[in-house]
Amino acid sequence: MSDVTTPPRALRRGLRSAAALLAAATLLGAGAAPSFAAPPGRLPVDAQPAGEQGMLATGGAEATALRTTLQGIVDTGSSAAVGEVRQDGRTVWRGRAGVADLATGTPVPEHARFRIGSVTKTFVATVLLQLSAERRIGLDDPIDRHLPGAVANGSAITVRQLLDHTSGLYNYTDAPGLDPQNESQYLDWLAGPRWQTYQPADLLALANRNAPYFPPGQGWHYSNTNYLLAGLLVEKVTGHPWQQEVDRRIIQPLGLRDTGMPGRSVRLPGPHAHGYVKLSTGPVDVTELNPSVMGAAGQGISGTADLNRFIAALLDGRLLRPAELAEMTRTTDAGPGRGYGLGLARFDTPCGVFWGHSGDLPGYSTMVAGTADGRRQLVLSHNPYDRSDPRAAKSAVTAFLTTAACGANPGH
């Protein structure tokens, strides 16, 4: 979730993720962020070289810049932050800052897991593109061919339009009940819907009660409804739960030990930093929640090493053939300087183009990106908590991402 100092908008932003995705899409260099009071018990950054290599392959200046900018994310209001950079197939920097638990001051675990939110979409899109390569589904198939009656205008919406957010379908996570408008409603969400198990039909009903944003193919609007349907398409075509197909086709072949799609389990298993939202009464721990409300749009859990391994494998052609990868990286205009493909966004940086996705849920914000040649990858996950100055917080995140992408001197 991007902004937890304003609870009425926090849940909507967290479940939707579009604001964070598009804000990160330029990754332009930023000046040093102002320093603000850190959460109680904040610890200094702990950065480690990969494995037993003993030295950071990227050099001392870059490591220092990464440590400083990661700490800046905590200084501007996140309770914790973890990051990792890979170059040419090996991890060249890994760091952590802040605390895993505001109450105890426990340090952030070295290999912390976290909720990845809408980064899940890239996994699901990859599976659908694999099924397209197998000729089991077509990107230009109308969704009514596979899911008749799922949405009112399903005969006019294609699989491709779901994956690139040009369907026009209403975003179900903007619906009343999932979009608290004041602190009282947010407290209601914490006590009730946070723990509720949702079926896809329940969530589609929320979307279907609202008019589309535009006719299919006539605009761009980020909508979790698109990927709720994408998960259902995977299930219809394969006869298996979408989580099982992600596991069989991506997680197991790549050996992603910290990655999973938890269904309706509220726990975040393994080592992790807690996620919080800030209300007028103080911090509320939101580490546990029922992820069924996100479905295939954003229920995943992972870690920095796994996400870097995944994006590297995706972009260097180990998961998709060249034809399908070309489809994935053919972008739709998502605003000035912004492009969105099939579950993958284009990020323009001072040192070239990166491809990836961001994801946000209450208490967790994640970004993964890599170069098209598969040589460099980066992951950032942090726990937004107290953002008294959202502009400074955004600048701190941008500073880290730019350094991770381009090094200590991104303009050179």
Model pLDDT, residue 390: 92
Mean pLDDT for 73-88 is: 97
Domain presence at residue 329: yes
Domain presence at residue 180: yes
Model pLDDT, residue 255: 98
Model pLDDT, residue 411: 59
Mean pLDDT for 198-215 is: 96
Q: How confident is the model at residue 180 (pLDDT cuts 50, 70, 90)?
A: confident
Share of the chain above pLDDT 70, in %: 85
SS3 letters for the chain?
Answer: CCCCCCHHHHHHHHHHCHHHHHHHCCCCCCCCCCCCCCCCCCCCCEEECCCCCCCCCCCHHHHHHHHHHHHHHHHCCEEEEEEEEEECCEEEEEEEEEECCCCCCCECCCCCEEEEECCHHHHHHHHHHHHHHCCCCCCCCEHHHCCCCCCCCCCCCEHHHHHCCCCCCCCHHHCCCCCCCCHHHHHHHHHCHHHCCCCHHHHHHHHHCCCCCCCCCCCCCCCHHHHHHHHHHHHHHHCCCHHHHHHHHHHHHHCCCCCECCCCCCCCCCCECCCEEEECCEEEECCCCCHHHCHHHCCEEEEHHHHHHHHHHHHCCCCCCHHHHHHHCCCEECCCCCEECCCCEEEEECCEEEEEEEEEECCEEEEEEEECCCCEEEEEEEEECCCCCHHHHHHHHHHHHHHHHHCCCCCC
pLDDT in tens, 214-251: 999 999 999 999 999 999 999 999 999 999 999 999 99
56 pLDDT above the threshold of 50: no
274 pLDDT above the threshold of 90: yes
pLDDT in tens, 126-162: 999 999 999 999 999 999 999 999 998 999 999 999 9
pLDDT in tens, 97-124: 999 999 999 999 989 999 999 999 999 9
336 pLDDT above the threshold of 80: no
What CATH number is attached to the domain comprising 367?
A: 3.40.710.10
Model pLDDT, residue 308: 98
pTM given for the model: 0.89
Domain presence at residue 411: no
Q: Which of 3-12, 187-196, 269-278 is least confident? A: 3-12
Domain presence at residue 1: no
Domain count, the chain: 1
Average pLDDT for the chain: 87
46 pLDDT above the threshold of 70: no
Q: Which of 14-18, 190-194, 204-208 is least confident? A: 14-18
Annotated catalytic residue within 78, 79, 118, 358: 118
Domain that holds residue 128: 7-406
**118 has catalytic annotation:** yes
Model pLDDT, residue 412: 52
Model pLDDT, residue 391: 94
pLDDT in tens, 35-45: 222 233 333 34
Domain presence at residue 345: yes
Q: Which residue has the higher pLDDT, 181 or 370?
A: 370
Q: How confident is the model at residue 59 (pLDDT cuts 50, 70, 90)?
A: low
34 pLDDT above the threshold of 80: no
